[in-house]
Amino acid sequence: MKTVICLFVRENILEDSASPMVLITDVNAVKWRKLCEDSLVENEMGFRADLRLVDAQRFVGSDEETLREAFPYPEAVVIFAVDELTLSQEGRPVLCIDPESQAASFRADLNEIWQVENNLSTGNLLFEEIVEECVEDGYLKPLAEF
């Protein structure tokens, strides 16, 4: 099977440094497309995550280690995984994986992943600093709680 990056996303608007958001579960195309569209919308402050959207069949059922091998550091500063939980829960909590395996993975609501990606890609924070300072019970705290 070939890798398909959501066709509605113009490749020239994505930078080489974009963080991968990988679909790792079977889902209908409409649901995935909606999640992709929503992930590329700027929030009220003008921020959004810089994402490379990946829905290759070979990643369906992948675990964290497989994703780390496919998207190693420094190619990726974070790997976002979209699984059944993401697609079935309110807020669509995306799994955030440290490609270096130095810190525990956690979840962030889709509209909050920009915080993770922007802080890691600019070097403002390290993955383990986000986990220590911003994650509670395995979930990224909303920005309003900082």
Predicted pLDDT of residue 70: 97
The phi, psi pair for 133, rounded to 5°, reads -100, -25
Helix (H, G, I), strand (E, B) or coil at 113: helix
Predicted pLDDT of residue 9: 33
Predicted pLDDT of residue 142: 84
Does the pLDDT value for residue 14 go beyond 60?
no
Q: What's the average model confidence in pLDDT over 67-91?
A: 96
Q: What is the DSSP string of 20-71?
A: EEEE-S---HHHHHHHHHHHTS--TTS----EEEE--GGGTT--HHHHHHHS
19-140: CATH architecture: 3-Layer(aba) Sandwich (3.40)
Beta bridge partners of 51: 19
The proportion of the chain whose per-residue pLDDT surpasses 90, expressed as a percent, equals 84
pLDDT band at 16 (very low <50, low <70, confident <90, very high): low
The proportion of the chain whose per-residue pLDDT surpasses 70, expressed as a percent, equals 87
Predicted pLDDT of residue 5: 37
Does the pLDDT value for residue 7 go beyond 90?
no
Does the pLDDT value for residue 6 go beyond 60?
no
pLDDT band at 12 (very low <50, low <70, confident <90, very high): very low
- pLDDT tens digits, 98-136: 999 999 999 999 999 999 999 999 999 999 999 999 999
Does the pLDDT value for residue 21 go beyond 50?
yes
Helix (H, G, I), strand (E, B) or coil at 134: helix
